[in-house]
Amino acid sequence: MTGSKERKKHGSISQSHSFVIRHLHQDDLDFAESLVEIAGWNQLRSDWLRLLSYEPEGCFLIKVDGIPAGTATTTTYGDDLGWIGMVLIHPDYRRRGLATALLNHCVTWLLDKKAVGCVKLDATPDGMKVYEKLGFTAEYELSRWIGRSIDGKSEDRPGHANPVKGNLDQKAFGADRRKYLERLAEDSFATSFSAHAFGMVREGRIANYLGPVVSQDACEAVEVIKSLLRTEKQSSVIWDIPEDNHRAVDLAEELGFKRQRRLIRMWTGPNRIDESVEMQWAIGGPETG
* 3-class DSSP assignment, residue 284: coil
Residue 9 half-sphere exposure toward CB, CA atoms < 13 A:
6
What angle do helix axes 218-229 and 246-254 make, rounded to 10 degrees?
40
Q: How far is Cα 95 from Cα 233, in angstroms, rounded to an integer?
A: 42
Domains of the chain: 4-119 (3.40.630.30), 142-282 (3.40.630.90)
Among 170, 199, 204, 203, CA closest to 77 = 170
Reply yes or no on whether the pLDDT at 6 is more than 50.
no
Among 234, 166, 236, 162, CA closest to 200 = 162
Partner residues linked to 150 by β-bridges: 230
CA 117 and chain centroid, separation: 19
Task: Kindly provide the b/e burial profile for residues 122-134, where b requires at least 16 CB atoms within 10 angstroms of the residue's own CB.
Answer: bbeeebbebbeeb
| Residues above pLDDT 70, as percent of the chain | 89
DSSP string, 46-60: HHHHHHHHH-GGGEE
* 3-class DSSP assignment, residue 26: helix
Do 197 and 262 meet the contact criterion of CB atoms below 8 Å apart? no
Q: Which segments within the chain are labelled E, that is strand?
A: 19-23, 59-64, 67-77, 81-89, 118-123, 137-148, 150-151, 190-194, 197-202, 208-215, 230-231, 236-242, 258-268, 280-282
Q: How confident is the model at residue 86 (pLDDT cuts 50, 70, 90)?
A: very high
Q: How far is Cα 237 from Cα 187, in angstroms, rounded to an integer?
A: 16
Tell me, what's the pLDDT at 130? 87
pLDDT tens digits, one per residue of 16-57: 568 999 999 999 999 999 999 999 999 999 999 999 999 999
pLDDT tens digits, one per residue of 100-115: 999 999 999 999 999 9
pLDDT tens digits, one per residue of 127-173: 898 899 999 999 999 999 999 999 875 454 555 556 677 689 999 99
Tell me, what's the pLDDT at 71? 98
| Residues above pLDDT 90, as percent of the chain | 82
Reply yes or no on whether the pLDDT at 267 is more than 70.
yes
